[in-house]
Amino acid sequence: MKYIGIIGRENNNRITYNKEIIDIIYRYNCIPICISLNFKKNKLIQIKELIDLCNGFILQGGNKIYDIDIDIVKYLYDNDIPTLGICMGMQTMSLLFNGKLQNIDKHYSSNKYVHNIHIKNNTKLYNIIKKKKIKVNSRHHEIITKTDLDICTDNIIEAVEDKNKKFFIGVQWHPESILDNNSRKLFNCFFSSIK
């Protein structure tokens, strides 16, 4: 059996997990390992054994990035654990590599599709999706304006990656909520990369 880690996010003084992501993990015949944290007190050493049980990791969206989030992403990266970052997960990945965040207005919508993104040709993301332009949703209040990771998109940074890892890709949109052919290709590649 394969295990996929998810870090719970604080929401109204509760730790929550994205049900759509959990459903996708089950759809790929994997088991989610839902890790609950006290973001201000927990240290990486306290959850390292749980992380080591995981064959891959999905970094779900959220509202606030904590120091432990950066520590977790660094550990995943250093140990080449396949990682898919979604929304704030992508932002956390970017921040680890000298990223800069900036607030942005009007990038939050409940619509299934909100805008197009343009994927660069020479990226792993392009090799997965096989399209230069796709429609995505948008549910974020901040954007990455700079990072040392490879940037996969033109204009606003909507996806990042490190081609030298088994799978280390972050996307600003929520593929778990669209589940179109492009999302399936992304999830197929992620789940194919895990041991």
Give the start-to-end residue ranges of the domains of the chain: 2-193
Sheet strands (E) in the chain: 2-7, 9-11, 14-16, 30-35, 56-59, 83-86, 100-103, 115-118, 133-136, 142-146, 150-151, 159-161, 168-171
For the ranges 9-18, 32-41, 50-59, 108-117, the maximum mean pLDDT occurs at 50-59
- Would you say residue 106 has pLDDT above 80? no
Own/partner pairs, 18-23, CB within 8 angstroms, 24+ separation: 18/60, 18/61, 18/176, 20/174, 20/176, 20/177, 21/58, 21/60, 21/86, 21/176
Task: Give residue 79's identity as a one-letter amino acid code.
Answer: N
What token pair was written down for 188?
A: 């197929």
CB 144 within 8 A of CB 157: yes
pLDDT band at 107 (very low <50, low <70, confident <90, very high): low
pLDDT band at 12 (very low <50, low <70, confident <90, very high): confident
What mean pLDDT is predicted for residues 82-96?
Answer: 97
What mean pLDDT is predicted for residues 81-99?
Answer: 97
**How much is the pLDDT for 108?**
67
- Would you say residue 13 has pLDDT above 70? yes
**How much is the pLDDT for 141?**
82
CB 111 within 8 A of CB 137: yes
pLDDT band at 6 (very low <50, low <70, confident <90, very high): very high
What mean pLDDT is predicted for residues 76-81?
Answer: 98
Structure pTM? Answer: 0.96
pLDDT tens column, 132-176:
999 999 887 889 999 999 999 998 899 999 999 999 999 999 999
**How much is the pLDDT for 66?**
94
CB 116 within 8 A of CB 94: no
Own/partner pairs, 179-183, CB within 8 angstroms, 24+ separation: 179/24, 182/129, 182/131, 182/134
CB 7 within 8 A of CB 60: yes
Which class for 54: exposed (0-12), middle (13-18), buried (19 or more C-beta within 10 A)?
A: buried
Q: How far apart are CA 164 and CA 162, in angstroms?
A: 5
What mean pLDDT is predicted for residues 35-45?
Answer: 90
What mean pLDDT is predicted for residues 180-191?
Answer: 98
Q: Facing residues of 3 across strands?
A: 31
Domain 2-193: CATH superfamily is Class I glutamine amidotransferase (GATase) domain (3.40.50.880)
CB 37 within 8 A of CB 7: yes
